[in-house]
Amino acid sequence: MFAYFTGHRSEIMAELWSHVQLAVIPVIIGLIIALPLGWVAARFKWAYPPLISVAGLIYTIPSLVLFVAMPGILGTQILDVVNVIVALAAYAVALLVRVVADGLASVPADAKQAATAMGYKPLGRFFAVELPLAVPVIAAGVRVATVSNVSLVTVATLIGTSQLGTLFSDGFSAGTDQSSPILLGIVLCIVLALVLDFAIQFATRALTPWLRAVPKT
Amino acid sequence: MWTYLSTGTNWGGQAGLWTNILDQVEYSVIAIVIASLIAFPLGLWIGHTGKGGTFVVGSVNATRALPTFGLMVLLFIVLSPHFHGRSNAVYIIPVEIVLVLLAVPPILSNTYAGVQSVDPAIRDAAKGMGMTGRQVLTSVELPNAFPLIMSGLRSASLQVIATATVGAYIGLGGLGRPIYDGFQQGPFQDTDPSRAATGQLLGGALLVAVLALAIDFILATIQRYTTSRGITGRYRRSTVLAGSQPVMAPEPEKVISEVVAQQPRRPGLRPDSVR
């Protein structure tokens, strides 16, 4: 496994880098889209059921299906990386809309009232009070989305996108010593998932200083 | 795509679409049944006794990071030299191992979270009425946890159906077959005016999506009619227990259940308050 790594260092580093991009960018795009949608779902009661059902429906579509259908929907080439990013972003939105809505709904009403009494306008109150207080719940969803994304990205190997999953197909088609690249790919995926997960937890901790300001009861 | 799906000869025969659909269902059902036999009793036991909750949360997060596709290829390469003869067990066994590994965590964590999320007051009341531990589990905790347990089963089924298609890469049948074969012939780039490969690929893709939706719909219907009426509130509208309604979307429950598992005592995060 290590011999394989040293022998193919530059390719593997390139694959690792594109894997990182394919795992992280869709979650960021997904979060940006999910925030306003989740706000609508939390703010207006009538909007919650349809938004959440549509999100659940998107999640029902298998990843391979979404990958191969994207060129048809977007008019891109099958080898285009955009397909993978859009497909994974759709999953991230599907997962995060609910999380954002539930996170915003979990903000205590007294906190919102206090903020209003202090003179916050609705928009300012959202960014200064509601969103930060919803961070723990949203972050839990972002962790799930990111970690499962890392393993979903490998499926994109089947449509020819280069990332760590490429090591699996390399191993599959290799003549001898097939397991080294595959094992290496699995290990790198898990390590990457752990690193990203840790980074999100660290960011969450930095964003929620108040959770440690008061001793836990 | 419609040409491919509407051509009768594509549906029949050994490699036809009907066989693909039946294979896909067969692989998925086997995996779900095995996974349920493992995860469901374990989840009930862990939830009931409260022992090993951290183990559940940890193992769920760990398996989510595992690239199932890679594991499938690895198992195939490791196991294939040990199979001989004409059976296709050599393809099925690696895929089934991976699918079971994939399906256990959502069922386990949702069963655990479901039992854990039962209001302690209800549990105390049951004990106070003189119920034994087993009775509390079967007639109080289980019905209360049922919506969450079913949503775990639903998300596990979806993941299994989706991932079973990837098995086509190592040579398994099922609905991954037309997708993968279509891709091998050069989808979207085929110059053939009928665009047969593209049609085959998209036709297979559509069938997987439809199958996944159909299975989810069937499970949702089962959930609707097997959940205790005292839980759903279909019994009498005015006596609904605060917010314990079944939840609709399949996957995102897992997020909630994990939040529950990690912070069981925080009000506002319990599944019954988020709906």
Q: Would the pLDDT of A40 be above 90?
A: yes
Q: What are the residues whose beta carbons fall under 8 Å from the beta carbon of B146, sequence distance 6 or more? A: B114, B223, B226, B227, B228, B231
CB count within 10 Å of CB A32 equals 13
How far is the CA of A76 from the CAs of A64, A72, A79, A82, A154, in angstroms?
A: 16, 7, 8, 8, 20
Whole-angstrom CA distances from B26 to B14, B72, B114, B172 are 15, 18, 28, 12
DSSP string, chain A: -HHHHHHTHHHHHHHHHHHHHHHHHHHHHHHHHHHHHHHHHHH-GGGHHHHHHHHHHHHHS-HHHHHHHHHHHH---TT-HHHHHHHHHHHHHHHHHHHHHHHHHTS-HHHHHHHHHTT--HHHHIIIIIHHHHHHHHHHHHHHHHHHHHHHHGGGGGGT--STTHHHHHHHH-SS--HHHHHHHHHHHHHHHHHHHHHHHHHHHHH-THHHHS---
By Cβ distance, the residue of A61, A94, A189 closest to B70 is A189
Q: Which residue has the tokens 């089963």?
A: B153
CA–CA separation, B208 and A68 (whole Å):
12
Dihedral, CA of residue B90, residue B93, residue B99 and residue B101, to nearest 10: -130
For residue B170, give the nearest of B275, B69, B27 by alpha carbon. Answer: B69
The minimum CA-CA distance between A123 and chain B, rounded to whole Å, is 23
- Chain A positions touching B184 (Cβ under 8 A) are none
Indicate yes or no: CB of B202 within 8 angstroms of CB of A72.
yes
Best of B21, B27, B63, B73 to disrupt the A interface by mutation (most A CBs within 10 Å)? Answer: B73
Residue type for position B106: P
Residue in chain B nearest A160 by alpha carbon = B183
- Lowest mean pLDDT of A101-105, B1-5, B126-130, name the range: B1-5
CB–CB of A197/A147 below 8 Å? yes
Q: pLDDT-based confidence at B273, cuts 50/70/90?
A: very low
Nearest-neighbour CA in chain B from A153: distance (Å):
9
Mean pLDDT for all residues in chain B: 79
User: pLDDT tens digits, residue range B78-119?
Assistant: 888 877 766 777 888 889 999 999 899 889 989 998 898 888
A95 in contact with B at a CB cutoff of 8 Å?
Answer: yes
CB contact under 8 A, A57 and B166: no
| Reported confidence tier of residue B264, pLDDT bands at 50, 70, 90 | very low
Tokens, residue A127: 């960014």
- pLDDT at position A86 is 93
Give B9-21 pLDDT, tens digit per residue. 777 777 788 888 9
Give Cα separations from A108 to A36, A105, A208 (angstroms): 20, 8, 16
Which of A62, A69, A168 has the CB atom closest to B165's CB atom? A62
* d(C-alpha B14, C-alpha A214), whole Å: 67
Tokens of A144: 């799930």
Q: What pLDDT band is residue A36 in, cutting at 50, 70 and 90?
A: very high
In sequence order, which ranges of B10-141 are alpha helices (DSSP H)?
17-49, 53-65, 68-79, 89-116, 120-128, 133-136
* SS3 call for B43: helix
Q: Average pLDDT, stretch B152-180?
A: 87
Identify the pLDDT of residue A118. Answer: 93
Q: Report ipTM (2 d.p.).
A: 0.82
Q: Which amino acid is at B191?
A: T
Q: Mean pLDDT in chain A? A: 89
